[in-house]
C-alpha cells in the first residue's frame, strides 16, 4: 500500500507553521478546508464559533473557567519521616485551588549525606582500591589508606556497604587509568587526562525545572555537597519537590565494564505539607521550611525506606505586592527552539534564579488580524488552570504593548514527532507508555471541561527522563460539558474525526479518535487513513476499512478499533475516560503510580542538562535569538482584551 511508504516531512518544511484558514477550497467534503500539508493545524474561521464573539475578553473566559467543575482527586497517602515531616507518595493533585501559599522563590541548600550505599555490586580488587586511594580528593589520604588497608585485609568479605565508607565521592582521575571505556576511541581525550569524576550527584526537580548538583568531597557514604540552588515556584500548593541521588560508577569497577549511573535513593515531598508543619508560617515573608534537617532516602518506585539520608535546608520567599512585575528584560535569550503560528519559541534563562525556560512570544497585532484572540487567551487560561504531570507547566505570563509572552518549563527531550521520525515506529511497550500518559493528560483536561482537539506527535514533547509533556493549547475549547457539542473546524487533517469532517457538531470524544490515530501511527509509522492528497484522505477517514499490519496483537487492535469508531456515540470513552482505562489493553496499569511518574520511561532521550538543545532541530537553533522590535499600534479597546494576561502563579500580587 502506498501510504505505508510516506516519507515524513518536517512540519516546518514549507512555512507551514501558519494555521491554515478556511479560504482553502474544500474539494471533497463540503465546508472542509484543504491544505497541502496534511500535518498542518487547521482552523476554519467561517464556521469557527470559538471566534464569533471577537469582543469576548480574557475576563469572560476567566469567569467561564471559574464555573468549571473541578474533578479533584487529591488523595494522598502520608507517612512520617522523623515523625514530623510528611512525605507524600500518593496521587498528584490536578488543579490549583488553594492559594494559602503564594508563589515565590524556593532556595534549597544541600549540605551532605550520611550512610549512602552503593546499590550494585562492584568489581573491586586490591589494585583498584589502592589506585582509588591515591586518586581520592578532599580527603585525608593517610586516613583513607589506613582504612583501605583494613578493608584489603578482609576484601573477600567486603560488602558494598563497607566500600561506600571508604571510596571517595569525588575522584580526580586520569581518564585512561580508571575508565578505559571513555577513551578507547578517542586519542585526544586520553591526552587530556586528568578529569574530575563526581561519583555522587543529585537531581533536584520541582515544577518541571531541574538542577544537577555534584559531590565535592568526602566518601560515597558521607558525601559533601554544600550546594545552593533557587527555583521559581508558581503553584506552591501543588509543587512536589523531588531529590534523586545517583552514583556514576566507572566501568572498571563494574562487571559490564561500562560506566553506569545508578539511583541510590530519593526524597519526594510536597511543599505545602512542609509548610503546614511550620506553625510560624507567614504568608508574605520569607520562611525557613526545613533547617539543616536529615531526611531519609526512599526507593521512589516501591516507596520502601532505604538506608541513608540527606541534610537539607529549605527557604521559601513568597512574592509580595511590592515584587517587581516581570518583563522580557528579566530573561536572557539563549536559543530559538521552535516556531508557532504567531511567533517564536526560545530557550531563555531567568536572570535572578538562573533557571532555564521556554519563552513563547506572540505578536498581538497578528492574533488580532487573524481573529485568534480568543484561542490565545484560552491557551493561557488552560495552561494556568491545569496541573497535570503530563502537560507543560506555565510559569509566568506577561505582556508589552506589542506582544504577549508565555514562560513555560523548558522540555528538552525533543518532540515525539522527531523521535518517531528517527525510529519510524515504536515498540508496543513504548507506544503504550506514551498513550497512558496522554490519556491521563486528556483526563485532566476533560475533567475541567476542556477539549484538546489537536493531539499529534508534533504537540507532544519528551522531558529529559522520557515522560511526555503535552504543549500547544491554542486549539483547546473550554466550557465543554459532557456531551456538549461545538462546530469549529480545526485540527490536523490526518487526525480529524469523521464527525468533524461531516460538520455536524462534535463533542469531547474527538480527543479519543485522535488518541486512536496516534496509537496506530506510533505502532505502524503512519496514521491509518493517510494519503498525500488531503481530499482523498478525508474520504478514507469517512469510508475506508481500518486495516492493521500482521504484527499488531488482538487486544491492541480491539482498543484502536473502539477508539476509531466512526459513530461518536458508540466510541470508547463516550461514558468517560474511565471506560478507556478499563479496556484490557490497560489492565496492568496502576494509574496512581503512572500519575506519580512512577513508571520508568522505556526510552530516555539523550539530554545532558537543562541547557541541552541537541534534541531540537538545528533549523531553529541556528537562528539568532532575539525579541524583534515591532512598532504596532493597537487601540485602547484592543489592548483591553489582554487586560488579565499577567500570570505569576496561583496568586496575582
Ligand X SMILES: Nc1ncnc2c1ncn2[C@@H]1O[C@H](COP(=O)(O)OP(=O)(O)OP(=O)(O)O)[C@@H](O)[C@H]1O
Q: By the criterion CB under 6 A, which residues form the site for ligand X?
A: 17, 19, 41, 337-338, 340-342, 345, 358, 360, 392, 408-411, 415, 458-459, 461, 471-472, 474
- Smallest distance, Å, CB 417 to ligand X? 8
Q: Is 265 exposed, middle or buried (0-12, 13-18, 19+ CB in 10 A)?
A: buried
Distance CA 528, CA 413 (A): 27
* Nearest by Cα to 271 from 211, 316, 323: 316
Q: Is 458 exposed, middle or buried (0-12, 13-18, 19+ CB in 10 A)?
A: buried
Q: Does 454 qualify as catalytic in the annotation?
A: yes
How far is residue 342 CA from its own chain's centroid? 23
Query: Is 272 annotated as contributing to ligand binding?
Result: no
Residue least distant from ligand X (Cβ) = 340
* Nearest by Cα to 653 from 358, 288, 234, 208: 234
Q: Is 76 exposed, middle or buried (0-12, 13-18, 19+ CB in 10 A)?
A: middle
DSSP E strands, 489-644: 489-491
- Smallest distance, Å, CB 342 to ligand X? 5
Distances 74 to 91, 93, 388 between C-alpha atoms, Å: 6, 5, 12
- Smallest distance, Å, CB 508 to ligand X? 20
Which CB, 40 or 430, lies closer to ligand X? Answer: 40
Q: Which residues of 426-448 are buried (b: 16+ CB within 10 A; e: fewer)?
A: bebebbbbbbbbbbbbbbbbbbb
Alpha helix positions (H), 67-186: 126-135, 141-153, 160-166, 175-178
Which CB, 316 or 410, lies closer to ligand X? Answer: 410
- Smallest distance, Å, CB 11 to ligand X? 7
Distance CA 652, CA 384 (A): 12
Q: Is 369 exposed, middle or buried (0-12, 13-18, 19+ CB in 10 A)?
A: exposed
Q: Which residues of 576-603 are buried (b: 16+ CB within 10 A; e: fewer)?
A: ebeebbeeebbeebebeebbbbebebeb
Which CB, 622 or 636, lies closer to ligand X? Answer: 622
- Smallest distance, Å, CB 412 to ligand X? 6
- Smallest distance, Å, CB 490 to ligand X? 10
Distance CA 551, CA 428 (A): 10
Which CB, 65 or 469, lies closer to ligand X? Answer: 469
- Smallest distance, Å, CB 153 to ligand X? 54
Asked if residues 237 and 231 have their Cβ atoms less than 8 Å apart, the reply is no
Distances 82 to 113, 216, 290 between C-alpha atoms, Å: 16, 27, 13
Which CB, 45 or 415, lies closer to ligand X? Answer: 415
Distance CA 414, CA 604 (A): 11
- Smallest distance, Å, CB 10 to ligand X? 11
Which CB, 23 or 588, lies closer to ligand X? Answer: 23
Distance CA 244, CA 166 (A): 22
Asked if residues 529 and 541 have their Cβ atoms less than 8 Å apart, the reply is yes
380 in helix, strand or coil? helix
Selected catalytic residue, list 454, 463, 511, 531: 454
Distance CA 83, CA 64 (A): 43
For residue 647, the cross-strand partners are: 397
- Smallest distance, Å, CB 373 to ligand X? 14
Which CB, 340 or 598, lies closer to ligand X? Answer: 340
Which CB, 24 or 174, lies closer to ligand X? Answer: 24
Which CB, 341 or 353, lies closer to ligand X? Answer: 341
Distance CA 267, CA 243 (A): 5
* CA gyration radius, the chain: 27
Mention every residue, 6+ apart, whose C-beta is less than 8 A from residue 293. 82, 85, 311, 312, 313
* Residues carrying an active site annotation: 454
- Per the annotation, binding residues are 364
- Per the annotation, binding residues for ATP are 364
Amino acid at each position: 500500500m502506498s501510504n505505508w511508504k510516506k516519507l515524513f516531512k518536517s512540519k516546518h518544511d514549507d512555512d507551514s507553521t501558519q494555521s491554515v484558514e478556511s479560504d482553502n477550497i474544500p474539494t471533497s467534503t463540503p465546508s472542509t478546508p484543504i491544505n497541502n500539508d496534511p500535518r498542518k493545524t487547521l482552523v476554519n474561521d467561517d464556521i469557527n464559533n470559538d471566534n464569533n464573539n471577537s469582543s469576548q475578553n480574557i475576563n469572560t473566559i476567566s469567569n467561564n473557567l471559574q464555573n468549571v467543575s473541578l474533578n479533584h482527586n487529591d488523595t494522598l497517602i502520608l507517612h512520617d519521616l522523623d515523625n514530623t515531616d510528611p512525605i507524600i507518595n500518593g496521587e498528584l493533585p490536578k488543579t490549583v485551588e488553594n492559594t494559602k501559599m503564594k508563589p515565590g522563590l524556593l532556595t534549597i541548600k544541600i549540605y551532605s549525606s550520611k550512610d549512602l550505599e552503593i546499590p550494585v555490586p562492584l568489581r573491586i580488587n586490591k589494585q583498584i582500591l589502592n589506585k582509588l586511594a591515591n586518586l581520592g580528593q578532599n580527603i585525608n589520604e593517610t586516613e583513607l589508606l589506613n582504612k583501605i588497608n583494613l578493608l584489603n585485609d578482609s576484601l573477600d568479605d567486603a560488602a558494598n556497604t563497607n566500600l561506600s565508607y571508604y571510596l571517595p565521592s569525588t575522584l580526580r582521575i586520569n581518564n585512561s587509568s580508571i575508565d578505559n571505556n571513555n577513551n578507547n576511541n578517542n586519542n585526544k581525550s586520553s591526552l587530556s587526562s586528568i578529569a574530575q569524576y563526581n561519583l555522587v550527584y543529585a537531581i533536584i526537580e520541582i515544577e518541571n525545572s531541574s538542577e544537577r548538583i555534584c559531590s565535592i568531597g568526602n566518601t560515597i557514604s558521607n558525601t559533601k555537597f554544600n550546594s545552593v540552588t533557587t527555583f521559581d515556584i508558581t503553584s506552591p500548593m501543588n509543587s512536589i519537590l523531588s531529590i534523586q541521588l545517583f552514583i556514576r560508577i566507572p566501568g572498571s569497577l563494574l562487571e559490564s565494564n561500562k560506566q553506569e549511573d545508578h539511583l541510590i535513593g530519593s526524597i519526594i515531598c510536597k511543599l505545602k505539607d512542609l509548610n503546614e508543619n511550620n506553625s510560624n508560617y507567614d504568608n508574605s515573608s520569607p520562611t525557613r521550611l526545613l533547617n539543616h534537617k536529615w531526611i531519609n532516602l526512599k526507593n521512589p518506585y516501591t516507596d520502601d525506606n532505604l538506608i541513608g539520608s540527606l541534610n537539607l535546608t529549605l527557604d521559601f520567599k513568597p512574592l509580595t505586592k511590592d515584587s517587581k512585575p516581570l518583563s522580557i528584560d528579566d530573561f536572557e535569550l539563549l536559543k530559538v527552539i521552535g516556531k508557532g503560528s504567531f511567533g517564536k519559541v526560545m530557550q531563555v534563562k531567568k536572570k535572578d534564579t538562573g533557571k532555564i525556560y521556554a519563552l513563547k512570544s506572540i505578536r498581538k497585532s497578528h492574533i488580532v488580524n487573524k481573529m485568534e484572540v480568543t484561542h490565545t487567551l484560552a491557551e493561557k487560561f488552560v495552561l494556568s488552570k491545569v496541573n497535570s504531570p503530563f502537560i507543560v507547566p506555565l510559569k509566568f505570563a506577561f505582556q508589552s504593548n506589542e506582544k504577549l509572552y508565555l514562560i513555560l518549563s523548558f522540555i528538552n527531550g525533543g518532540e515525539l514527532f522527531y523521535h518517531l521520525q528517527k525510529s519510524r515506529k515504536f515498540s508496543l511497550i513504548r507506544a503504550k507508555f506514551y498513550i497512558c500518559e496522554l490519556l491521563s493528560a486528556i483526563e485532566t483536561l476533560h475533567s475541567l471541561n476542556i477539549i484538546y482537539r489537536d493531539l499529534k506527535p508534533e504537540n507532544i514533547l519528551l522531558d529529559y527522563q522520557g515522560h511526555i509533556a503535552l504543549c500547544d493549547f491554542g486549539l483547546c475549547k473550554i466550557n465543554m460539558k459532557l456531551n456538549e457539542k461545538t462546530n469549529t473546524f480545526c485540527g490536523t487533517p490526518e487526525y480529524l474525526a469523521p464527525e468533524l469532517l461531516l460538520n455536524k457538531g462534535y463533542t469531547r470524544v474527538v480527543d479519543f479518535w485522535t488518541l486512536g490515530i496516534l496509537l496506530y501511527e506510533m505502532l505502524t509509522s503512519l496514521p491509518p487513513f493517510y494519503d498525500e492528497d488531503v481530499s482523498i484522505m478525508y474520504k478514507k477517514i469517512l469510508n475506508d476499512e481500518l486495516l492493521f499490519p500482521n504484527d499488531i496483537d488482538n487486544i491492541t487492535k480491539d482498543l484502536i478499533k473502539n477508539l476509531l469508531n466512526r459513530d461518536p456515540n458508540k466510541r470508547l470513552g463516550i461514558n468517560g475516560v474511565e471506560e478507556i482505562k478499563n479496556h484490557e489493553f490497560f489492565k496492568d496499569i496502576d494509574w496512581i503510580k503512572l500519575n506519580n511518574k512512577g513508571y520508568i520511561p522505556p526510552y530516555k532521550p539523550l539530554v545532558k542538562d537543562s541547557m541541552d538543545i541537541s534534541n531540537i532541530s538545528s533549523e531553529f537553533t541556528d537562528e539568532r535569538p532575539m525579541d524583534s522590535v515591532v512598532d504596532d499600534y493597537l487601540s485602547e479597546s484592543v489592548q483591553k482584551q489582554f487586560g488579565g494576561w499577567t500570570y505569576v502563579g496561583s496568586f496575582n500580587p
